Amino acid sequence: MDQTALLGRVAAALGRLDVRGLLTTGPSIDPRGFAAPANVRVVRSAPHTEVMRHAAAVITHAGHGTAIKALGAGVPVLALPLGRDQPDVAARVVAAGAGLRLPARSSARRIANAVSRLLAEPAYREGAGRLARAIAAERATDVAVDELEALAASRSSRALAVHR
């Protein structure tokens, strides 16, 4: 999605803050050719579940995968949507009080300010925590499977009544 310039601004934003950053480039951008500040490590990919255990905030283009993994871990999100369904995911993150949204063309300074807010204002971590609990509850009881099984059982009962 031609995100090299955005990744550069994100790296520069993290360089302005007293944080340790991990920036993943994905398969299309070689991390070895990517310049980043000393406090930012750049890699092609990283195991999201492991990374989220140590994250205080996540900056993402708001794809479902990263957004749900961050929120499932109770980590607030800064969404910088690029296209497809990402604007909708970003809107839902904001509506849930679990993060902020900025245009993908935002400056490094504006991104740094938003990350600072996520880290400083407890309401965002609380919003992400609410979503984490809801996601955990949903996963504990697979509602879709329960509903499909109930539907199948009801159709089986009707089929038996017709065949008698």
User: Can you list the domains of the chain with their CATH numbers?
Assistant: 4-163 (3.40.50.2000)
Report yes or no on whether pTM surpasses 0.85: no
Question: Tens digits of per-residue pLDDT, 80-90?
Answer: 999 889 999 99
Model pLDDT, residue 1:
56
pLDDT at 163 over 60: no
- DSSP for the chain reads ---HHHHHHHHHHHHTSSS-EEEE--TTS-GGG----TTEEEES---HHHHHTT-S-EEE---HHHHHHHHHTT--EEE---STTHHHHHHHHHHTTSEEE--TT--HHHHHHHHHHHHH-HHHHHHHHHHHHHHHHHHHS-HHHHHHHHHHHHHHHHHHHHH-
